[in-house]
Structure 1
Amino acid sequence: MEYRKLGNTDLALSAITYGAFAIGGNMWGGNERKDSIAAVHASLDHGVTSLDTAPFYGFGLSEKIIGEALQGKDRTKVQILTKFGLVWDGSNNGKGEYFFDAEDNGKSLPVYKYASKENLIKEVEESLQRLRTDYIDLLQLHWPDTTTPIDETMLALQQLLQQGKIRAAGVSNYSVEQLQDAGKTITPASNQVPYSMLNRSIEKEMVHYVREKKIGIIAYSPLERGLLSGKYFSGAKLKDDDHRNGYFGQFDPEAVKTLLTALAPLAEDKGASLARLVLRWTTQQPGITVALAGARNAEQAASNAKSMDFTLTQQELDFIQAQLQQL
């Protein structure tokens, strides 16, 4: 495993960081608690020291599972990355920016983006309880909230830094312009953004900006929620309540299948699965600090970690680039 400095902080994150969205269950067709805990433990056993979660994942369940899984572990050797700013329980009293309706056991819950100081402080205390810890290594704004001034949010994060409740402050899904506005108060340690072989939009402007400002990039959905693993072209099925039934529809299945077919011999040459090849490619792209990789069980978690067991040469990277240009 490689460990990489995050922005201008003293945090060193594992290049493959465990993504805990799916173990929350909601939107992913559920998951067994014992399998989720086993996935976290397997990640740690294979050198993954960084765990990325959020209150919204399972409406608190993902954070609770992370907290449970870390009992008895050396807290100083694990980096907990969580978020704030998505409210689903009505505690925002209609304030914030409406996002979408989520479903919880058949009940529709309106989700709001809400990044006020008051809400931030409240959410952090709740996350600390669920995670069973007294500090968060990286706290990230989950989504921009257009109803709250950016400087209000950044000043609140600065306060938490001073109090020692968080070690670093980051954002997610921010544009370059929003990063510039945030930088008038504090420079975020990182920006968590979508990035994959099928979605490389950040290469146009974002990568240059964050490298110049020494801001880390945490790449989410590098496998496009499993699509780039290839398993959904070889018989794997999704549950009816899995959000990916609709999500995958944005991609041309034949183009993706052609890409994976072209990459398969390289993966085989590396003794790796397609998923591991894709994850390794992601970690070797300019500006990318870490790649998030979700896992529902120990086997998947161990496989993700092994993505760092090999390196792609420049010639191999050029070959992949040539395939991507044909998409």
Structure 2
Amino acid sequence: MPEQHKIGKTDLKVTPIGLGANAVGGHNLFPNLSDETGKAVVRAALDNGINFLDTAYIYGPERSEQLIGEVVREKGNRHEVVIASKASHKFVDGKTVMDNSPAFLKESVDNSLKRLQTDYIDLFYIHFPDEHTPKDEAVGALQQLKDAGKIRAIGVSNFSIDQLREANRDGSVDVLQGEYNLFKRGAEKEILPYTTANGISFVPYFPLASGLLGGAYSKDSTFADNRAKNPMFQGETFVRNLEKVEQVREIANAKQAEVAHVVLAWYLTRDSIDVLIPGAKKPEQVLNNLKTLQVQLTAEEIAAIDRIFQA
């Protein structure tokens, strides 16, 4: 079974590779998903030692939480599973708005508890900031829910450094989730030093840069989805990015590992990154993600990867 790490200053212990569950029931995010396959993905994670499941109200909406709730109830091991969920999306007159008001967050937690079929959520995030609610007031509402035993730890997601500082005015924020990968390293400037100094765990999303860091593309690859409009996947920039990935492949080949596993292993060497949440649409992808834990990078390799992507 994989070794477990503590998340930041919390008492939550998780496997360093968790499961990002946006493709479990995320029918609004991915085409042609099967609920049964989604449940099989969650079972594969739990059966192979992964104990950290990351979901959100908006994945579905609602369906991801429901499917996770069904599988965990079926397994009968709720006390062994660390569940993270998120809320802030609200539908008003057919439009999606963000709401961080204390009343909405408290209602959201109660609704998530029902969908997950549990009486507590291990980690609950404010998914996106809104434009109106003071960030420390929103976190204060989650602190009340923590005091009441409905949640065990407090997270914020997609917060800027200034929003994070405001949210953490009372030192209540346990986890920040934000975009970070070897191509997008902006978090290293202010956010990661702040999270490290304040005992806040940083959970990166898009760690493989929409697949670019997975090592499966060549200069002849074409894209028909959002990647077609992403500058990272266009022209000379795309070619230069692939050249960097090929340098990582040399390290991966020497270890008989995949590029993605080396990249994910590199993140786990960063201060305040305790856990990663790669997604999976099939059970076999869950098992593949776990191979990351077999990769041990030397200090020289860590520095080499750093240099490759500093250029």
Q: Given the two structures, how large is their TM-score scaled by the length of structure 2?
A: 0.91
Q: Alpha carbons of 1:224 and 1:164: their partners in 2 closer, same or farther (altered >3 Å)?
A: same
- What CA deviation, in whole Å up to 9, does each residue of 1:229-284 have, x standing for no partner? 1334398876x6x54554x4444321221112111122122222211111111111
Q: How does 1:130-209 map to 2 (within 5 A)?
A: 130-209=115-194
Task: Say which SS state the counterpart of residue 225 (structure 1) adopts.
Answer: coil
Contact kept in structure 1, 2:180 and 2:204, CA below 8 Å: yes
* Alignment-derived partner of residue 9 in structure 1: 10
- What CA deviation, in whole Å up to 9, does each residue of 1:128-167 have, x standing for no partner? 1111111100000001112112232122111101111101
Moved more, 163-172 or 28-37: 28-37
Counterpart among 106, 125, 130 of residue 110 in structure 2: 125
Task: Say which SS state the counterpart of residue 130 (structure 2) adopts.
Answer: coil
1:314 aligns with 2:299: yes
Within 1, Cα distance between the matches of 2:136 and 2:32? 37
Contact kept in structure 2, 1:154 and 1:185, CA below 8 Å: no
Within 1, Cα distance between the matches of 2:295 and 2:289? 12
Q: Alpha carbons of 1:27 and 1:233: their partners in 2 closer, same or farther (altered >3 Å)?
A: farther
Q: Alpha carbons of 1:22 and 1:273: their partners in 2 closer, same or farther (altered >3 Å)?
A: same
Contact kept in structure 2, 1:230 and 1:260, CA below 8 Å: yes
Higher RCO (CA-CA < 8 Å; seq separation 6+): 1
Contact kept in structure 1, 2:21 and 2:55, CA below 8 Å: yes
Within 1, Cα distance between the matches of 2:165 and 2:110? 28
* Alignment-derived partner of residue 85 in structure 1: 88
Contact kept in structure 1, 2:261 and 2:295, CA below 8 Å: no
User: Mind listing any 5+ residue stretches in structure 2 that lack a counterpart?
Assistant: none
Moved more, 112-121 or 228-237: 228-237
* Alignment-derived partner of residue 38 in structure 2: 36
Q: Alpha carbons of 1:161 and 1:78: their partners in 2 closer, same or farther (altered >3 Å)?
A: same
Within 1, Cα distance between the matches of 2:62 and 2:217? 29
* Alignment-derived partner of residue 22 in structure 1: 23
What is the one-letter code of the residue matched to 2:7?
L
* Alignment-derived partner of residue 101 in structure 2: 116
* Alignment-derived partner of residue 67 in structure 2: 65
Within 2, Cα distance between the matches of 1:179 and 1:27? 27
- What CA deviation, in whole Å up to 9, does each residue of 1:193-230 have, x standing for no partner? 11111111111111111111111111111112322113
Contact kept in structure 2, 1:13 and 1:290, CA below 8 Å: yes
- Report the aligned-residue RMSD: 2.0
What is the one-letter code of the residue matched to 1:313?
T
Contact kept in structure 2, 1:15 and 1:289, CA below 8 Å: yes
Within 1, Cα distance between the matches of 2:139 and 2:288? 37
Q: Alpha carbons of 1:236 and 1:119: their partners in 2 closer, same or farther (altered >3 Å)?
A: farther
Superposed displacement of residue 43, structure 1: 1.6
Contact kept in structure 2, 1:207 and 1:286, CA below 8 Å: yes
What is the one-letter code of the residue matched to 1:87?
K
* Alignment-derived partner of residue 102 in structure 1: none
Contact kept in structure 1, 2:181 and 2:207, CA below 8 Å: yes
Contact kept in structure 2, 1:140 and 1:172, CA below 8 Å: yes
* Alignment-derived partner of residue 253 in structure 1: 238
Contact kept in structure 2, 1:50 and 1:79, CA below 8 Å: yes
- What CA deviation, in whole Å up to 9, does each residue of 1:146-195 have, x standing for no partner? 21122321221111011111011111122222222222234200110111
Point out the structure with the larger strand share.
1
Within 2, Cα distance between the matches of 1:269 and 1:33? 39
Q: Alpha carbons of 1:243 and 1:39: their partners in 2 closer, same or farther (altered >3 Å)?
A: farther
Q: Given the two structures, how large is their TM-score scaled by the length of structure 1?
A: 0.87
Within 2, Cα distance between the matches of 1:115 and 1:276? 36
Which contiguous aligned blocks of 4+ residues in structure 1 show a shift greater than 6 angstroms? 234-238
Counterpart among 268, 279, 291 of residue 276 in structure 2: 291
